[in-house]
Chains A and B, each alone.
Chain A
Amino acid sequence: MPDLPISDDELLSSALDGELSASDQAALTERLAVEPSLAERYALLSQAEALAAMPVTPISSTDRDRLIDAALAASATEGNITDLAAAGARRSAWRRRGITIAATAAALVLAVPAFIAINNANGVDYDTAATSPSDESAADDSADTSASAEMPLSDAPSDDQPPDFDAAEEDMAASDGGVNAITVNRFAYDLNQNGLLQLSDFEGLDGLERSYSSPTELNSEVVLRWSGYVENEPDDIAEVPLSPRAVETALFAANLGGCPDVLLALDGLDYAGTVTSVSFADTNIQGEAVTVVVVQLEDGTAWLVLIDQNSCETTFEGPLP
């Protein structure tokens, strides 16, 4: 089958790559000598080739190690470990774009009150949580679980709930007794509604989203429970009955041990008063891997804590009304 005729660009480009036969190359050389426009085009394509071939600035040795570590973690998942480990490693390798967390925090503050409203209005059923099968031991230790259910409710616009979240919440209720794991998704939704984040920013984080709440309080103790949202999550962090430093406990349980300074920084957070819920979202804000924490207090105020997962830089905003 004869070769199809090729365009001048193909001819010139192939010549640049040394992919022409000797005869074709000779013919082209003759044409270039007598066709200025062709010679000009050849020069331009040559520039394009040189530009495309410009060396790439390599990644740093630190990033190189992170990428390799994540890939090796993925190889482990090929055996009997889930992709969760790889996802976690990927998270640690995520990119840095140099945004300032503080600036992001200022924007997020706008969304948090609405988030809390949605959170409260959508069945954070602490009583149910306390009496769910997996919570029986904690419930036994509680003299008065019903008192703890007095949550600051506000008028949430339930009409605005996205249908898929409703369905997901039903699933959640069946699996974990109503502990509010869905808050993270609602938070993401709310941020999206406010134009602060795109839902796509949360893609790929399934299984890393987490939410804690305080289903039971007794003598100032706050019982934090793993939501049960994530399959394959180790059972030993399913329940964290510690306090009064409930926030620290929650952060620790959220496996933020890689950021020890966060715990120190939290000493500066005035969360006097009973913590009624702590919600987390490991997310990606403008390319920065960030843990967003909303700490809600009994008096209805809340604190927003943003933790840069790369630098462990922590930013507090609050108290929020």
Chain B
Amino acid sequence: MDETTLISAAQRGDQKALDQLLRMHQDRIYAVCRRLAGNDADAMDATQEALIAVVKGLPRFDGRAKFSTWSYRVATNACLDELRRRGSRPQPGLPEFERADHTPVGGSVPRDPAETVSASIDVDRGLAQVPEEFRTAVVLRDVAGMDYAEIAEVLDIAPGTVRSRIARGRGRLADAISGNQTTPNERHSQ
């Protein structure tokens, strides 16, 4: 069944179709939530809420947007709501790398576990320094692979704002990497 057929069936209450549809998008939604949350545990809960939000919103999906864009919008909002409800800033945590069945989402190159852990901590710590609105834009771009127009639709902001937020988010991340904690204005005035 193609995605359009699955969506229609799921909207009619076909549980198998819904199951299949959710599985098609689950990993990417989790990846977004994981980067927004900063740790596995909160990401799991946020993904839970996101998937539930997708399910509950499915009857209202009218097909005008791509399902992936629509589901990212719903999931991102649900994920952010869940994290806000917890009142938690991203808490960098150790990745659960001990499981044997892991293949990185969006990549197939085997990694040294030590390298994976180290890089995961770095990215979590780095993203934790980035304000939520910038972080969200960066994550949708770099993790979900969405273009600026899609991100604008998901976040309901202008494409120019998307560009600005991504740039500022990456800028903060770059500063975290380089140990440069000055503000952009301070940097530019130097």
Report the count of interface residues on A (CB-CB < 8 A). Answer: 49
Query: Across the interface, do A64 and B26 meet the contact criterion of CB distance under 8 Å?
Result: yes
CB nearest to A70 among chain B residues: B48
Report which of B54, B106, B167 forms a contact with A9, defined as CB distance below 8 A. Answer: B167
Q: Are B87 and A200 in contact (CB under 8 A)?
A: yes
Query: Out of B55, B107, B139, B163, which one reaches A13, CB within 8 Å?
Result: B163
Stretch among A87-95, A126-134, A242-250 lining the B interface? A87-95
CA distance A51 to B118 in the complex (A): 11
Contact B160 A44 (CB under 8 A): no
CB pair B99 A60 closer than 8 Å: yes
* A residues near B96, Cβ cutoff 8 Å: 57
Interface-lining segment among A72-80, A211-219, A256-264: A72-80
A-B CB pair tally, cutoff 8 Å? 168
Q: Is the CB of A52 within 8 A of B127?
A: yes
Q: Cα distance A75–B48 when bound, in Å?
A: 13
The residue on B at minimum CB distance from A69 is B19
Q: Say yes or no for B5: interface residue by CB 8 A criterion.
A: no
Majority DSSP secondary structure for residues of B touching A: helix
Give the distance to chain A from B52, nearest Cβ to Cβ, in Å: 4
Residue of A nearest to B94 (CB): A98
Chain A residue nearest in CB terms to B180: A44
Give the chain A neighbours of B183 by CB distance below 8 A.
none
CA distance A194 to B98 in the complex (A): 35
Min Cβ gap A50→B in Å is 8
Is there contact, CB below 8 Å, between B18 and A51? Answer: no
Whole-angstrom distance between the Cβ of B167 and the nearest chain A Cβ: 4
Q: How far is the CA of A91 from the CA of B190 in the complex (A)?
A: 52
| Residue A166 at the chain B interface, CB threshold 8 Å | no
C-alpha gap A47/B80 in the complex (Å): 26
Q: A9-B184, A51-B123, A68-B26 are in contact. Are A59 and B177 (CB under 8 A)?
A: no
Whether the Cβ atoms of B160 and A4 lie closer than 8 Å is: yes
Whether B66 is near chain A, meaning CB under 8 Å from some CB there, is no
Asked whether A57 and B174 contact (CB < 8 A) given A12-B167, A71-B51, the answer is no
> Which residues of the partner chain A approach B133 to less than 8 Å between Cβ atoms?
none
Closest Cβ of chain B: how far from A13's Cβ, in Å? 4
Give the residues in chain A near B67, CB-CB below 8 Å: none
Q: Does A23 contact B (CB under 8 A)?
A: no
In the assembled complex, A21 has its CB within 8 A of some CB on chain B: no
B3 at the interface (CB under 8 A from A): no
A3 — nearest CB in chain B belongs to which residue?
B160
Q: How far is the CB of B60 from chain A (nearest CB, A)?
A: 11
CB within 8 Å for A86 and B167 given contacts A52-B123, A53-B143: no
Which residue of chain A has the shortest Cβ distance to B127 in the bound complex? A52
CA distance A51 to B40 in the complex (A): 17
Per the bound structure, the CA–CA distance linking A53 and B51 in Å amounts to 22
Query: Quick one: which of B86, B141, B147 has the most chain A CB within 10 A?
Result: B141
* In-complex Cβ contact of A61 among B56, B86, B101, B163 (8 A): B101
Bound together, the chains give a CA A206 to CA B17 distance in angstroms of 31
Interface set, chain A 139-163, CB cutoff 8 A to B: none
> What's the least CB distance linking B37 to chain A, in Å?
11
The answer, among A61, A67, A96, for a CB contact under 8 Å with B47, is A67
Q: Does B65 contact A (CB under 8 A)?
A: no
Q: List residues of A whose CB falls within 8 A of some B CB.
A: 3-4, 6-7, 9-10, 12-14, 16-17, 19, 41, 44-45, 47-49, 51-61, 63-64, 67-68, 70-72, 74-75, 78, 86, 90, 93-97, 200, 203, 287
* Residue contacts A-B, CB under 8 angstroms, 21 given: A6-B164, A6-B167, A7-B167, A9-B171, A14-B163, A19-B147, A44-B174, A51-B119, A51-B122, A52-B126, A52-B142, A52-B170, A56-B31, A57-B97, A58-B27, A58-B30, A61-B101, A68-B22, A75-B55, A95-B41, A97-B41
